[in-house]
Amino acid sequence: MGADEDYDYLFKLVLIGDSGVGKSNLLSRFTRNEFSLETKSTIGVEFATRSVPVDSKLVKAQIWDTAGQERYRAITSAYYRGAVGALIVYDVTRHVTFENVERWLKELRDHTEAYVVVMLVGNKADLRHLRAVSTEEATEYAEKENIYFMETSALESLNVGNAFVEVLTQIYNVVSRKTLETMDDDPNSKALPKGETIVIGTKDDDVSAVKKSGCCST
Ligand SMILES: Nc1nc2c(ncn2[C@@H]2O[C@H](COP(=O)(O)OP(=O)(O)OP(=O)(O)O)[C@@H](O)[C@H]2O)c(=O)[nH]1
């Protein structure tokens, strides 16, 4: 399972959040089961993929990672183009990284469609004695913003798979709901745009949600 050609859906996800919160390590933990203690900022954009089963379909996640630091960041609009899911990461030991989530969420919403699935991720949950952001504070914020929330540790492999798989499952739910329901015309609708084949994005490398074989039979 997981051979590149085998998937039913391909979803583009983006990782965003301040520098040093653990985005690259969440990515390497999920896609390669690797973790590194090195502090090495991402330069430009990296991406990695992993396929997981969701509701008897194989969903391939194409996960993009860029530096949190402004000067290393790739061109924003290209980074976000076609993304159908996002993990906004903060470090539970640095409150300022949680305060900046608001900015990241705004940037994300400015560059993606309304149906983008967003997961707030409080990483480094293993550093219990250094915690500066409580679970309650983050839960409250996530509820207010109507986004999902999980605490993770890339170091201890805590909840990392769960966070990515939850985002993929929620995107899948939106996509498969689209195949079953007639859409209403509410511009604020969370559902996907009308159309038979689900393809979001334009160029090959930006295509984010593709149902490869045929359409819409469930
Ligand atoms: N204790 C602990 N350290 C972590 C965890 N995740 C990442 N780190 C450490 O935090 C530092 C930064 O991690 P990165 O994954 O490079 O962070 P980033 O968000 O990709 O950083 P930029 O590329 O600069 O945006 C590294 O030293 C990691 O080893 C975690 O869950 N627990």
Q: Which domains does the chain have, with CATH numbers?
A: 9-180 (3.40.50.300)
CA atoms of 72 and 55, how far apart (whole Å): 38
Q: How far is the CA of 87 from the centre of ligand 1 (A)?
A: 15
User: What rounded mean pLDDT belongs to the chain?
Assistant: 83
Q: Are strands 209-211 and 199-200 parallel, antiparallel or unpaired?
A: antiparallel
The residue ranges of the chain whose pLDDT is under 50 are: 1-3, 182-183, 185-218
In this structure, the residue with its CA closest to atom 12 of ligand 1 is 20
Instruction: Residue 168: name the closest of 90, 64, 55 by CA.
Output: 55
Q: ipTM of this complex > 0.90?
A: yes
- The contacts of residue 38 (CB under 8 Å, 6+ apart) are none
Ligand 1 and 15: CB distance under 6 A: no
Q: Is the CB of 24 under 6 A from ligand 1?
A: yes
Rounded CA separation 181/191 (Å): 10
Side chain identity, residue 58 = L
Q: Are 194 and 183 in contact (CB under 8 A)?
A: yes
In the chain, DSSP assigns E strands to 9-16, 45-54, 57-66, 85-91, 117-123, 148-151, 199-200, 209-211
Distance CA 59, CA 71 (A): 33
Q: What is the pLDDT of residues 69-120, one digit of tens each?
A: 776 666 788 899 999 999 999 999 999 999 999 999 999 999 999 999 999 9
Q: Quote the ligand 1 centre to 21 CA distance (angstroms).
A: 5
